[in-house]
Homo-oligomer: A and B are copies of this chain.
């Protein structure tokens, strides 16, 4: 690409350092949003709209001059009355409650908050793609670039997914950084992440002194009963050939050994490889919790937020594998299995076909042995240019397809 591409890359590496310096926690990313909004507000051909709490949508519509001939109206949804495909491309705004230990010159200036999941790099690469396509609008269709709030916590995609701003979207795409050679694209042709539900069980009993158990209802004993039953669910409710787990992370009840408390709480996670499997665990877990508590004369809540696995559209993804390999070079792209984390992009992949691509942040040989969410994890600068090229190529391929 041109000299202007090189200057674009230099510019977004600077932006990425700036974003990394000023991380913000989920649902509080207004400073990040404001920065992107002010930068993009100065760019011709970019339309901006706020959505959710702090999210930002930047749209670029093609002029339809160059590749109008490749338009395939039959592929558009009924709502999409444009002249080509409408793509949704997403990056995440939020950082994590982690004290950074990278020792980078552009380390976090916000104590206890850190971009430890690569969202700074994701935003910078997406920003570059916006600038590129705003300057190269000789395509048919529309690209909606989403900077999404609160991917790391509950909220985020689930609160945004029904926005009318996504009406007419045909396909949805996202990149996520992962330990692998910097800039390499790892493309899972089917499932790309785990589905996960984070749950909280609260058993409401009735407090009484330990010497008078008959005057109360012990929520701890009831919670223990529930835990025993729930722990056996994956082994019994799910096809044994499917990966599934239900595990506990925390327990909390009471203040004193001699006082039966009012309530007892447990949290944990349920993981499964499909929406159906996730529901086949969450629903019986809820029923067992509520029913066991009732049987003891207590009541209990089973609250959960489920994120479906991100499932890539296999035909789109296999085509992308071939096309990106041709454009970026065979060493830059490889087929892979799913990541072992989850991502609320699952809400988008449930609604729109598309793909979720894993982007190498750097690997052990490059000095990046630390996994996502480590206080030492970051995306190497060397990964930024390949990520920008990948977005430009992916969007180009899907607009032309």
Contact = CB atoms under 8 A, between A and B. Distances in A.
Interface of A: 194, 196, 198-200, 210-213, 218, 220-221, 223-225, 227-228, 231, 245, 247-261, 264, 266-269, 271, 340-341
16 contacts: A196-B258, A198-B258, A213-B245, A221-B248, A223-B251, A224-B224, A228-B228, A248-B254, A249-B259, A250-B254, A250-B257, A251-B251, A251-B253, A251-B264, A252-B253, A257-B267
Give the residue among A196, A213, A224 with the most B Cβ atoms within 10 A.
Answer: A224
Contacts of A210: 245, 247, 249, 268-269, 271
B223 A231 contact: no
B249 A258 contact: yes
A213 B243 CA distance: 12
A223 B252 CA distance: 13
B227 A220 contact: yes
Contact of A199 (B250, B257, B264, B269): B257
Given A198-B257, A210-B247, A249-B261, 8 more contacts: A199-B257, A210-B268, A211-B245, A212-B340, A224-B228, A249-B255, A251-B251, A257-B268
A98 to B, nearest CB: 12
A269 B257 contact: yes
Contacts of A267: 254, 257
B220 A251 contact: yes
Give the residue among A199, A253, A340 with the most B Cβ atoms within 10 A.
Answer: A253
A247 B253 CA distance: 13
Contacts of A260: 247-249
A251 B227 CA distance: 13
Nearest to A249: B257
Contact of A251 (B211, B228, B254, B268): B254
A60 B23 CA distance: 73
A327 B257 CA distance: 42
B256 A250 contact: yes
A266 B251 CA distance: 9
Contacts of A224: 223-225, 227-228, 231
A221 B213 contact: no
Contacts of A196: 211, 258
A198 B258 CA distance: 8
A228 B228 CA distance: 9
A249 B254 contact: yes
A194 B220 contact: no
Contacts of A340: 211-212
B228 A221 contact: yes
Give the residue among A196, A213, A258 with the most B Cβ atoms within 10 A.
Answer: A258
Which 9 A-B residue pairs are closest in the complex by CB-CB distance? A224-B227, A257-B267, A250-B254, A251-B253, A224-B224, A220-B248, A249-B257, A251-B251, A210-B269
A358 to B, nearest CB: 16
A252 B249 contact: no
